[in-house]
Amino acid sequence: MDNSTPLTEALFYILLAVRTPNHGYGIIQDISEMTDGRVVLGPGTLYGAINSMLTKGWICLYSEDKESRKKKEYLVTSIGREIFKNEVKRLNELVKNAKKMDEG
């Protein structure tokens, strides 16, 4: 398996946003909403990341509306879920160790 952690914040949130089928604009909206507007992905960043994750097999094309360029929906794959789960585990370890410093 491609052990590509740590994930960038953009990749992390995109994987989170495609746990159910989602299209590009929906992904941008969901990420902005999840982060209270702190993370706003531009189309170039989003589609660059999507193409990279499609190539790696982390997400797949779920459906495509042939009538509209905009209506491609993406969904996380089992590999993508595993990558995401490993990243959450790594982040939790970081937080746990940081809290130890506050205790000492």
Taking the domains of the chain in order of start, what are their residue ranges?
9-103
* Ranges assigned E (strand) in 8-58: 22-23
Predicted local distance difference test score (pLDDT) of residue 70: 60
Torsion angle (degrees, nearest 10) of CA 12, 55, 30, 43: 110
Q: What is the pTM of this model?
A: 0.88
Q: What does each of the 104 residues of the chain score in pLDDT, given as a tens digit?
A: 455 679 999 999 999 999 999 999 999 999 999 999 999 999 999 999 999 999 999 999 999 877 766 689 999 999 999 999 999 999 999 999 999 988 76
CATH architecture for segment(s) 9-103: Orthogonal Bundle (1.10)
Determine which helix (DSSP H) or strand (DSSP E) holds 91, and give its type and residue range: helix 78-103
CB 49 within 8 A of CB 10: yes
